[in-house]
Structure 1
Amino acid sequence: MAAMNVRGFILQASYRVISGPAGQVPVIHIHGRLEDGGTFLVRDDRQRPHFYIRAADAGRARPLRIPEPQPVDRRTFDGEPVCRIEAETPSDIPAIRDRLHAAGIETFEADVRFAMRYLIERGIKGSCVIEGEAVPGKGITWVFDNPVIRPAMLTIEPRVFSFDIETDAKGEKLLAISMYAPGIDEVLIVDSSNREMPERAIRCENEYAALEKFCERVRVYDADVLTGWNIIDFDLSVLQRIAARVRHPFVLGRDSGPIRIRKPEGYFGSGQANVPGRLVLDGIDLLRGAFIRMDDYSLDAVARGVVGEGKAVHGDVRDRLGEIIHNYRNDLPAFALYARTDARLAYQIVEKLNVVQLALARSQLSGMTPDRVAASIASFDFLYLSELEHRRIVAPSVRSSDSSVYAAQQGGHVLEPIAGLHRNVWVFDFKSLYPSLIRTFNIDPLSYVANPAATDDLIQLPGGAFRREPAILPRMLDDLFPRREAARKAGDDIASNAIKILMNSFYGVLGTPACRFYNPALANSITGTGREMLLWSKRWFEAAGFVVLYGDTDSLFVHSGVDDPAAAQEQGRQLAVTLSAQIARYIEERWRVTSRLELRFEKLYSRLFLAQARNSTRGASKRYAGMRHGRDSAEFVGMEVVRSDWTPLAKQVQRELYQRLFTDQPVDVYLADVVRRLRVGEFDDALVYRKGLRKDAEEYTATTPPHVAAARKSSQPLGRTISYVMTTGGAEPIDNIQHPIDREHYVTKQVKPVAEPVLATLRLDFEKVIGDTRQMDLLGM
């Protein structure tokens, strides 16, 4: 045993219930990586599960067969004293809480997770100092029992280990497990026929032997993070089933204990996996949690976009499963290369995009373990409850029924666009508008006053009134803003992005009924005041003689009226500074608070096209394309080119048409040529639709959209995204095309819709532009 004082990064926080002489005792388990590269486990049996009720309700609560309420030095938001109710184990809490709720007694913090409360009460977010006696552990460098742990700041380089499995068509028989990490690039192939193995392939006599070797590789490499593509819902789940069938213990963790997999909730939900002492971070979830948008989240599509390399397939890509099984039986080198490539690509994607490091950085900010940082409500909960802990204030419990109750909420304000093609347009935006409004006007659950008196000196906003004393959220944002600015100046994109994601989540969380701090008055105060700032700025520009072409939530598009782009650019910068000062003066005079709002000159569009709404003369919100001054390619917002449910052909045509429109090149000859080539089959590879199923294909009963019809015809196991083409026989999946492609469908439903807005601007007609070409095709000329 050694006395130690070390720093570590927390990878996992959980608990176990141990039976002892005094009964069952919950023991906190915290796993992590030490600063020196070793690993640690903190075990603490001193924490007791508890929650609170009002002291005034203690008398009514006692007859309900609950533990004796104990007075404590804490109060509710309204200043009422509370009592603490302590249970033997965390699993006892729900029944006690439900009896109290059934009796009409409100509880406080009765839903807070046991291990999270342990960290909240100690103010620990991501990293900690551990001080106490330690002993060497089995598979763990040091084990601490009941040490002192305190907050710390620490950055580590996690050991990431990627894997992928190959199975038979039904996902029942294991064919191979591929692995990739620094120093590891190999595949374990299940083969009882004693065939010669290709390069970097290891023969395993049976499934048991493959599982044994896989667990050994993970243990020897000592992975902090297990990753891959869809590994929770597929790979780990399949391996767990196979391990049960062949009676393999399948111990992947640093500590004893089974792998626990929680099934996904909802068709687009993701499962969660708990491996003792290690994080399981699925590549798809890492990208989505980091708000990295992809049209297609398949490994092949993402790898091609990020790494510049796809899956190692050589046959018909429409039948990859058939090729895998064929190669397993007849071409082991090709099979091994395919399997190894999958594991490597998953590793390279998360490495290049820095999404694992981003998860760790977000953990340091929010206090959530890295596998839960994408849970914005839980992250907000952790931060706000930590601050309430310092103030000795308790928060309401979340009731399951709360999530179904919505009050009217305003969204961001949108100004109707002036549709058409415009030159030299300024774009101004409020930097981090909603967080800045929270800071400026002290918007906070604790500062909100539900029934203000006429004599109260409050900040009156469209949604409600707020006290002037410094509150929790504004103070948190006052800390985060300069930290993000410092990270940006230092070139630390990971830290900057982590802070941005956290700050931007605050408004959304306050407007979500599933959050314990949900209050529509807070959300409406933010959006309502944002609307007022947008309209006040619009009036300011108009009073100065400018035309505001469009506005959306935090941005304004203003026609400069200046012919020289360079001069317009400089004037835009000056106007942003002037208007920011004017807004600050207005806010100070009206509300007697210091403005934290900053209007920025974001960019100058030398050409801007504001689209018209379909079948209307009105401008379309959130749909525009522009050529930025000094850039060579057009930018698109809300147009078909940035939507995943339009074909590659439509996107290609739209991009080229606007490029030509903005650079004064003819569009008619190009468009006629596209339609001609489309009709003769030159673009068949660009005609694939991709659309996600929101539920199982069989569950669509009221209507049958094309992608559902295609899904029902597929000969392959279905994923969440269906790839199909329109044929003369209707929608058909690309793995089972039985009829000729209906190319006229693509002329009228893909090319024509993206072309017509450009043609209308140039006073051209689609049928006339392509008509001669069509006639020549019909005559065989």
Structure 2
Amino acid sequence: MKVRGFILQASYRVVTEPDGRRVPVVHLYGRLEDGGTFLVRDDRQRPHFYIRADQAAAARAVGAPEPEPSDKRTFGGLPVCRVAVETPPDVPGLRDRLQAAGIDTFEADVRFAVRYLIERGIKGGCEIEGDGVPGTGIAWVFDNPTLRPAAVDVEPRVLSFDIETDGKGERLLAISLYGPGVDEVLIVDGGDRPMPERATRCKDELAAFDAFTDRIRRLDPDVLTGWNTVDFDLTALQRIATRLRHPFNLGREPGPLRIRKAEGYFGSGQATIPGRLVLDGIDLLRGAFVRMDDYSLDAVAREVLGEGKAVAGEVRDRIHEIMHNYEHDLPAFALYARTDARLAYEIVRKLDLVRLAFARSRLTGMTPDRVAASIASFDFLYLTELERRRLVTPTVRSDDASVHAAQQGGHVLEPVTGLHRHVWVFDFKSLYPSIIRTFNIDPVAYVAEPSPGADLIETPGGRFRREPAILPSMLDELFPRREAAKKAGDDVAANAIKILMNSFYGVLGTPACRFHNPALANSITGLGRHLLQWSKQWFEAAGFRVLYGDTDSLFVLSGIDDPETARARGPELAASLNDELARYIGERWRVPSRLELKFEKLYLKLFLPRVRHGTGGARKRYAGLLHGGGADSVEFVGMEVVRRDWTALAKEVQRELYQRLFSDRSVNEYLADVVKRVRRGDLDEALVYRKNLRKDTGEYTATTPPHVVAARKMTQPPGRLISYVMTTAGPEPLDNVQHPLDREHYVVKQVKPVAEPVLATLGLDFERVIGDSRQLDMYALLGAE
């Protein structure tokens, strides 16, 4: 039997044989191309790692099993031997003993099931050849088949679910489900109340668990999703199931739900269900680098779908409203529960987040629930290539992440402050990946101690061999694949490749990565600075003024009065620079240039502000009016309008002021009117601050920022994002506002800071524009916060 499928989950189980031997069995769950499901079980793989061959005797002396011969070598060319153990849990203890004895280990931290896939070169898709037998809950089970890599694309079945509990999360009220052909809610109700549309009565919590697990089994989803699914829904269900002594089997095979708690304040938990993926909507959103001011379901749904939760009250009253509806208005309660599951599903579907996770899995080899782990993804890719080259790499030790070395960042040119007309913006296309390709920057190609007269590529951070290396070869393949995906309109595939390529530099610069080397990171950033400066000098030699530059972009004053002429000239200049740059790189380094400067856009007007309370230019902050985008097409970068920790008032005022500045309209009357409305209380809804806690509130000891003060006053346990207002008694959370708003604070701390750069450009003074300098000067003198 020969079939093709896509791996959803890779794990292992340890089985005790009749003779007492403990045998690890790789378990690969997945979907077949024909829509069926499969399980591959393989007991032939042995857990192993490597040591240097010249340390084999020393390893035996500290109790290691007899090392086995190997044809692999270290990066330095030294032969290694293989150390195999009985089960994967035996590895860490032996590894630590060897390392404590001064014996170097290699790849002793690679996960057992991941090693199985790496050695076979399998990235998501695979061809399975062997004897398959029908399974229970799984279409086909294969024991010890032959696996080969294959290009496989499947459409996973996705189901969203959401639970409702009492305020303490201890009693289950309802479970809602939403997906293709599914829109229902299971309501726990021991009475005889009539059930609303699409609602099913469950006489008690136990019945609700039975109904839920039965629905999962019949619908057979590949992916379970929702919002805060792991840290709340599944965690609460597991806790309640334990109380009820319910087996709570959600998998395709019998087996417990395993939840790994979040690590660190910003971490997210992970859930493992045999044969199914759990992809939390919040994690998918963050993993795809979709930035939101507020990651709550209501806020994201309003931003992405244009609708929010089905409740009428404010945030602070929602728990009370939900409990009231559960007891007195079941139709409203059922609609609320079903809406939550539907919104989570529709967000994930509209943004193609599950498809993106699967596309990234096909690229990196990581299962879809782990593609956001950039270091692990890089590991999988690079180790797969090392396997082909028969090379091994050092083990990542737990203390390696604390190693730090000086690393240089991207170069930023000093801004020429003020308002400028007809400014070109040029960007290097994928600068850091292009530098890696051009200069062969790679862990294998790096030469720490070159031989005299060696023909190497010299960079600011180190020297590299000229023979084609692993990373440049990967990128040589990825660049055209991304272009092909873009031309085909496959935005998901193009985005997956972009995320992967852009991760390479960051991973190499991270001490927790096994391939971390400051020389590599500094070579990339050093060449980036050199190329930015070279390009600046090229434009200046051509008679143009460079107003600003940041890492991979240059802002150049065109000096052309007609915007259409300026727009047409931009691409011509980019082409000329690329030709000259290719000649320069070829002559100096004797390598073909992969660098490409692109004309990105034309700003009809560009404002580069001064640094606040200083005279120099503010870096990474500007506002520009785009050519061809209409009067309202103002772009903001680094300004308050795009930052979460400024109020909606400040953002709206800033947006309006720059639109007026760029369209030569007066700002005086508008600004004076805004201040009057703030003081009258007309804009109170726009005065809310939102800021993330970086740690638990009790850990703030040296200083206590306003959002921490507010968090400590909340009536409910605080989440990560704290919403608060400034009152006459200081910061207070939205769910516990006890004092009048300090509106003058908002005039001084929100309106004035965003207005002053525009007013200074126009030669105006804030206090005079709003007409009461005495009062504001006195307020500032008192240092009111």
Same fold (TM over 0.5): yes
2:694 aligns to what?
Answer: 694
Counting only pairs closer than 5 Å after superposition, residues 484-499 of structure 1 correspond to structure 2 as 484-499=482-497
Is 1:192 paired with 2:190? yes
* 1:69-119 deviation digits (Å, cap 9, x = unpaired): 111111000000000000000000001100000001110000000000000
1:36 aligns to what?
Answer: 34
1:360 aligns to what?
Answer: 358
Amino acid at match of 2:91: I
* 1:491-536 deviation digits (Å, cap 9, x = unpaired): 0000000000000000000011100001000000000011100000
Amino acid at match of 1:19: T
* 1:313-357 deviation digits (Å, cap 9, x = unpaired): 113432111111111111111111111100000000000000000
Measured after TM superposition, the shift of residue 204 of structure 1 is 0.7
What SS class does the counterpart of residue 75 from structure 2 fall into?
A: coil
Q: Distance in 1 between matches of 2:146 and 2:63?
A: 35
Q: Distance in 2 between matches of 1:698 and 1:201?
A: 43
1:757 aligns to what?
Answer: 757
Q: Distance in 2 between matches of 1:624 and 1:317?
A: 34
1:241 aligns to what?
Answer: 239
Q: Distance in 1 between matches of 2:771 and 2:617?
A: 29
Q: Distance in 2 between matches of 1:702 and 1:24?
A: 52
Report percent identity of matched pairs: 74
1:576 aligns to what?
Answer: 574
* 1:8-60 deviation digits (Å, cap 9, x = unpaired): 01100000000003410000000011100000000000000000000011111
CA contact (8 A) 1:54 1:106 kept: yes
2:656 aligns to what?
Answer: 656
1:482 aligns to what?
Answer: 480
CA contact (8 A) 1:676 1:774 kept: no
What SS class does the counterpart of residue 735 from structure 2 fall into?
A: coil
Is 1:20 paired with 2:24? no
Counting only pairs closer than 5 Å after superposition, residues 139-288 of structure 1 correspond to structure 2 as 139-288=137-286
2:430 aligns to what?
Answer: 432
Q: What is the aligned counterpart of 2:516 among 503, 515, 518?
A: 518
* 1:408-446 deviation digits (Å, cap 9, x = unpaired): 000001101011110001111110000000000000000
Counting only pairs closer than 5 Å after superposition, residues 41-440 of structure 1 correspond to structure 2 as 41-440=39-438
1:725 aligns to what?
Answer: 725
What SS class does the counterpart of residue 758 from structure 2 fall into?
A: helix
What TM-score do the two structures reach when normalised by structure 2?
0.98
* 1:150-175 deviation digits (Å, cap 9, x = unpaired): 10111111111101111111111111
What SS class does the counterpart of residue 327 from structure 1 fall into?
A: helix
Measured after TM superposition, the shift of residue 773 of structure 1 is 11
Q: Distance in 2 between matches of 1:606 and 1:338?
A: 47
Measured after TM superposition, the shift of residue 579 of structure 1 is 0.1
Structure 2 unaligned runs (5+)? 779-785
Q: How many residues align?
A: 774
Q: Distance in 1 between matches of 2:363 and 2:71?
A: 28
CA contact (8 A) 2:767 2:773 kept: no
CA contact (8 A) 1:418 1:550 kept: yes
What SS class does the counterpart of residue 424 from structure 1 fall into?
A: strand
CA contact (8 A) 1:676 1:773 kept: no
Q: Distance in 2 between matches of 1:403 and 1:749?
A: 40
What SS class does the counterpart of residue 162 from structure 2 fall into?
A: strand
What TM-score do the two structures reach when normalised by structure 1?
0.98
1:636 aligns to what?
Answer: 636
Q: Distance in 1 between matches of 2:615 and 2:135?
A: 72
Measured after TM superposition, the shift of residue 194 of structure 1 is 2.3
What SS class does the counterpart of residue 549 from structure 1 fall into?
A: strand
1:558 aligns to what?
Answer: 556
2:665 aligns to what?
Answer: 665
1:443 aligns to what?
Answer: 441
CA contact (8 A) 1:8 1:128 kept: yes
Q: Distance in 1 between matches of 2:98 and 2:194?
A: 67
Is 1:462 paired with 2:460? yes
Q: Distance in 1 between matches of 2:355 and 2:436?
A: 29
1:608 aligns to what?
Answer: 606
Q: Distance in 2 between matches of 1:16 and 1:299?
A: 36
2:783 aligns to what?
Answer: none
Measured after TM superposition, the shift of residue 698 of structure 1 is 2.2
C-alpha distance 774-181 of structure 1, shift in aligned 2 (>3 A): farther
Amino acid at match of 1:15: Y
What SS class does the counterpart of residue 526 from structure 1 fall into?
A: helix
What SS class does the counterpart of residue 394 from structure 1 fall into?
A: coil
Deviates more, 1:198-207 or 1:23-32: 198-207
What SS class does the counterpart of residue 612 from structure 1 fall into?
A: coil
Q: Distance in 2 between matches of 1:156 and 1:191?
A: 39
Amino acid at match of 2:2: N
Deviates more, 1:414-423 or 1:192-201: 192-201
1:8 aligns to what?
Answer: 5
Q: Distance in 1 between matches of 2:247 and 2:225?
A: 21
Q: Distance in 2 between matches of 1:690 and 1:316?
A: 16
CA contact (8 A) 2:361 2:368 kept: yes
1:507 aligns to what?
Answer: 505
CA contact (8 A) 1:672 1:773 kept: no
Q: Distance in 2 between matches of 1:465 and 1:707?
A: 48
1:534 aligns to what?
Answer: 532
Deviating 4+ runs (over 6 angstroms): 773-776
Measured after TM superposition, the shift of residue 205 of structure 1 is 1.0
Structure 1 unaligned runs (5+)? none
Q: Distance in 2 between matches of 1:704 and 1:213?
A: 48
2:746 aligns to what?
Answer: 746
Q: Distance in 1 between matches of 2:699 and 2:519?
A: 38
CA contact (8 A) 2:640 2:754 kept: yes
What SS class does the counterpart of residue 342 from structure 1 fall into?
A: helix
CA contact (8 A) 1:427 1:604 kept: yes
* 1:156-211 deviation digits (Å, cap 9, x = unpaired): 11111101111111111111111111111111111112222111111111111111
Q: Distance in 2 between matches of 1:592 and 1:122?
A: 37
2:735 aligns to what?
Answer: 735
Q: Distance in 2 between matches of 1:40 and 1:365?
A: 21
Measured after TM superposition, the shift of residue 775 of structure 1 is 8.5
Q: Distance in 1 between matches of 2:760 and 2:585?
A: 44
Q: Distance in 2 between matches of 1:611 and 1:256?
A: 62
* 1:613-660 deviation digits (Å, cap 9, x = unpaired): 111110011000001111122000000000011111111111111011
Amino acid at match of 2:733: P
What SS class does the counterpart of residue 771 from structure 2 fall into?
A: helix
Measured after TM superposition, the shift of residue 225 of structure 1 is 0.4
Measured after TM superposition, the shift of residue 774 of structure 1 is 9.8
* RMSD value, Cα: 1.2
What SS class does the counterpart of residue 675 from structure 1 fall into?
A: helix
Amino acid at match of 1:197: M
* 1:524-566 deviation digits (Å, cap 9, x = unpaired): 0000011100000111111111111101101110111111111
* 1:450-477 deviation digits (Å, cap 9, x = unpaired): 0112310000000000000000000000
Q: Distance in 2 between matches of 1:353 and 1:175?
A: 30
C-alpha distance 203-774 of structure 1, shift in aligned 2 (>3 A): farther
What SS class does the counterpart of residue 103 from structure 2 fall into?
A: coil
CA contact (8 A) 1:7 1:129 kept: yes
What SS class does the counterpart of residue 445 from structure 1 fall into?
A: coil
CA contact (8 A) 2:310 2:335 kept: yes
